[in-house]
Structure 1
Amino acid sequence: MPRFVYILASRPHGAIYIGSATDLRRRVSHHQSGAVKAHTRRYGIHTLVWFEHHADPAEARLREHRLKRWRRAWKEALIAEYNPQWQDITAHIPD
């Protein structure tokens, strides 16, 4: 089953969260509604700023874990490469 790796942010250059999900649209909705407790709810992290699709779930999990270990500057550069304004890109999630 295909899987997405994604980054949510509270604001441009603010708090971020990295995760993965099979149904990205539903997962982002959970974050935005506050249904997900912990870090994202506490810091108001609800804007989808980056994502990528992986056909192999194991590859997606590996990518997620690697991104979590990246330096903050590298994560910000990754986001800025595809979304320089850190705008919500939820509408760009493929069906």
Structure 2
Amino acid sequence: MSVAIFSQTTKWIDMVIDRSKNYTYIMANYSNTMLYVGVTTNLVNRVWQHKNRAFRCCTRRYNCGKLVYFEAYGRFLEAIFREQQLKAGNKNRKHILISDFNPGWEDLSQDWLF
């Protein structure tokens, strides 16, 4: 792993561990054809739930177990508003957003210990 990737991963983990934050996130299946937009107050726990198919939902049916994008907010209502914006947008806009943030569409949670 290169230093740049390591420091970027460390930055993401530091952002996620801050419990005062609220998150809007996008999960993708492993072929990047299905996207799921969600909101949570505990991103680590929610990603674990998606990866382990803890609930019967869209992500379980379509195997959306890859965290490809997230944003952190101080207020939960801001995160909900952003989730609604992303859900209202078309798939192409989401692809551009993800590609700008995560060009390789890597699983941002791959180094997290579950």
- Fold in common (TM above 0.5): yes
Aligned length, in residue pairs = 93
How do residues 1-95 of structure 1 correspond to structure 2 at under 5 angstroms? 1-90=20-109
TM-score by length of 1: 0.91
Q: Which runs of 4+ in 1 moved over 2 A?
A: none
TM-score, normalising length from structure 2? 0.76
Name the Cα RMSD after superposition.
Answer: 1.6
Contact 1:50 1:82 in 2 (8 A): yes
Larger Rg: 2
Q: Tell me, in whole angstroms, the C-alpha distance in 1 between the residues paired with 2:31 and 2:52.
A: 20
| Contact 1:3-1:21 at 8 Å conserved across structures | yes
For 2:111 and 2:93, the matched residues in 1 are separated by: 23
Greater RCO (CA < 8 Å, at least 6 residues apart): 1
The CA deviation string for residues 22-70 of structure 1, in whole angstroms up to 9 with x for no partner, is 0000000000001021210000001000001000111110000110000
CA change 1:5–1:92 in 2 (3 A) is: farther
Distance 2:89 2:73 in 1: 19
The structure-2 alpha-carbon separation of the partners of 1:9 and 1:25, relative to structure 1 and needing over 3 Å to count, comes to same
Q: 1:92 to 1:70 in 2, by over 3 A?
A: farther
* Cα distance, 1:62–1:92 mapped onto 2, change above 3 Å: farther
Q: In 2, Cα distance between the equivalents of 1:23 and 1:92?
A: 17
